[in-house]
Amino acid sequence: MNWFATRLKNGKEEVFDPIRRKWVRLTPEEEVRQMLLRDLVDNYQVPPGLISVEFSITVNGMEKRCDVVVFSPQLNPVMIVECKARHIEISQQVMSQASTYNLKLKVPFLLMTNGSQQYCCKIDYVMGDISFLNYIPLFNEMVSFNQSRL
């Protein structure tokens, strides 16, 4: 995939997002998202076709957009990713934002990142347990954990 192709358009820098297959404004948050997307594909073996960027959902009657959602081959969501610009701390508020999205999607993994800090949680709905991981799971782990909880 061609990552980090940039251009200037009307005085604004844009980056080509190979997942969405379009040019988008290169904001500080978008830079973090593009780095994370590349890592998911190149290092965590997530097939690009199973990633959705700015995935729309409705929670409590309000339209929301998840920064990134990873799906299983059966198109079940397995991870929500919340990206923030580097200067924004990954706080309880960011965790709450991702958790709100999860009210709808009920994924087994939540990942919050600003490119410097990252927190990944595994949610076991059967046991009622949330644990923080010190790593990002490979795609096969995301999918196998999702299948084991069905």
Distance CA 60, CA 94 (A): 18
93 in a domain, yes or no?
yes
Q: Is residue 12 part of a domain?
A: no
DSSP, residue by residue, 45-79: ---GGGEEEEEEEEETTEEEEEEEEEE-TTS-EEE
pLDDT in tens, 88-138: 999 999 989 899 999 899 999 999 999 999 999 999 888 888 999 999 999
Contact 87, 99 (CB under 8 A): no
19 in a domain, yes or no? no
Full domain range(s) for residue 64: 27-148
Q: Is residue 18 part of a domain?
A: no
Q: Are the beta carbons of 110 and 133 closer than 8 angstroms?
A: no
14-70 pLDDT per residue, tens: 999 999 999 999 999 999 999 999 999 999 999 999 999 999 999 889 999 999 999
**6 domain residue, yes or no:** no
Residue 145 in this model has a pLDDT that exceeds 70: yes
Side-chain half-sphere CA neighbours of 55 within 13 A: 22
Element (H, E) at 91: none
Q: In 3-state terms, what secondary structure has residue 135?
A: coil
8 domain-assigned: no
How many independent structural domains does the chain possess?
A: 1
Measured distance CA(75)–CA(11) in Å, rounded? 39
- Looking at residue 144, its amino acid is S
pTM: 0.92
Q: What is the reported pLDDT for 148?
A: 54
Q: Specify the DSSP class assigned to residue 125.
A: T
Q: Please indicate, yes or no, if residue 13 is contained in any of the structural domains.
A: no
Query: Across-strand partners of 30?
Result: none
- Whether 16 is in a domain gets the answer no
Other CB atoms within a 10 A radius of the CB of residue 50 amount to 20
pLDDT for residue 10: 94
CATH number at residue 123: 3.90.1570.30
